[in-house]
Amino acid sequence: MAGHPGLPQHMQEGTGGTDGDGRKQDIGDILQQIMTITDQSLDEAQARKHALNCHRMKPALFNVLCEIKEKTVLSIRGAQEEEPPDPQLMRLDNMLLAEGVSGPEKGGGSAAAAAAAAASGGAGADNSAEHSDYRAKLSQIRQIYHTELEKYEQACNEFTTHVMNLLREQSRTRPISPKEIERMVSIIHRKFSSIQMQLKQSTCEAVMILRSRFLDARRKRRNFNKQATEILNEYFYSHLSNPYPSEEAKEELAKKCAITVAQVSNWFGNKRIRYKKNIGKFQEEANMYAARTAVNAANASSHGSQANSPSTPNSAGSGGSFNMSNSGDLFMSVQSLNGDSYQGAQVGANVQSQVDTLRHVISQTGGYSEGLTANQMYSPQGINANGGWQDAPTPSSVTSPTEGPGSVHSDTSN
DNA sequence: CCCAATGATTGGGT
DNA sequence: ACCCAATCATTGGG
């Protein structure tokens, strides 16, 4: 800027003097002018600029400068190249989109909801409370992100237009090609986008932290609601002879309980192992569910209903055998001493006393494989074809009451 | 605060 | 791929 006014000025003065001394003098003047240019007032400068623009030599000089500029611009353009989209930036963008930060405004945050669902089950009313905090924080982040982004965008635009105006203004006094303007704009954009990338990066970090705190904290569990537990227990005790739900059954249960299939699997895994470990503890529960399913079945089949209390198989205390002596009782209880209460839901009418006695016998023989046979004998429908899951622990508790269950393991050679 | 219950994870087996 | 067993970590009641 400072140099340009000086140049025509030089010519202006230079037209007068022809000898070398005069030229030197001119240069001194020019330098002087350059040095003092900052002292000039704005009006002065404008006036001088106007004078320069009106100078008769200006167009010719301008053209020369344009030519020179053209060449340099070409070389510059050769140096600059279209850089591919930054992979880092793309990664960030993708992630923000996936997290629902940069995606659609609201809509329950589809992606975020999906992630949440993956962590702890479907869109039940149950976990909405759990994730409300998460959602609130996420939307907070999103809001900050958007306002910041908008701010940057606006600043970028403002700055760009400002620079362009300046360049346009300058283009009257110095040659500026459109290419050059374009380049300048792209430089500005690049600068601003690098700032935006920082914003995106920190936003990503915030989201990651949030996620790790709320969703990835996998051990931060919530108990299933009562209904879900009941559904699961119902299935478990009504399939006590083979409590291994198929994939389909798991899906069904998961849907009914508003949890994931994996959670169903976990539940059954836990349930099996814990049931097996301490059958006595679960007896009451088993009786209850057995009774319930039995009653349900009875009601459904419109059979003659000698309904006994559905939810309270009374006096079913863990130790007490409550044998329903009389006609067709649907479920039997088993005493905790002998352990097992499988096929609790079976409709094997009066068998249970035999079962009990035989169990006792078995316990004395200490047979392990006999348990299986006994089971098969008394299962009315011959359910447990495999006999698998329950016969291992049962005899152990049977054989030696003093010994904890499960002490006898893979001990077939007995 | 302790402790049992409970959902989730891990490691090992088939 | 599924299961079992042990274990972790949280929950919720006392």
Report which residue is nearest nucleotide C9 when distances run from CA to C1'. A219
Report which residue is nearest nucleotide C4 when distances run from CA to C1'. A273
Cα–Cα distance, A165 to A375 (Å, whole number): 93
The answer to whether the CB of A103 falls within 8 A of the CB of A62 is no
Q: Which nucleotides of strand C lie within 7 A of protein CB?
A: 2-12
Sequence letter at residue A197: M
Query: Mean pLDDT across the stretch A75-96?
Result: 71
**Helix, strand, or coil (residue A51):** helix
**Residue A129 CB partners (closer than 8 Å, separation 6+):** none
Report which residue is nearest nucleotide B7 when distances run from CA to C1'. A221
Question: In the complex, which nucleotide's C1' lies nearest to the CA atom of residue A285?
Answer: B5
> Gap from A351 CA to B5 C1', in Å?
34
Per residue in A131-188, pLDDT (tens digit) is 566 667 777 788 888 898 899 889 989 989 988 888 888 887 777 777 778 888 888 8
> Gap from A102 CA to B14 C1', in Å?
47
- C-alpha torsion A313→A317→A322→A328, nearest 10: 20
Whole-number pLDDT of residue A214: 60
Whole-number pLDDT of residue A213: 60
Per residue in A252-291, pLDDT (tens digit) is 999 999 999 999 999 999 999 999 988 988 988 888 888 8
Query: pTM higher than 0.75 for the full model?
Result: no
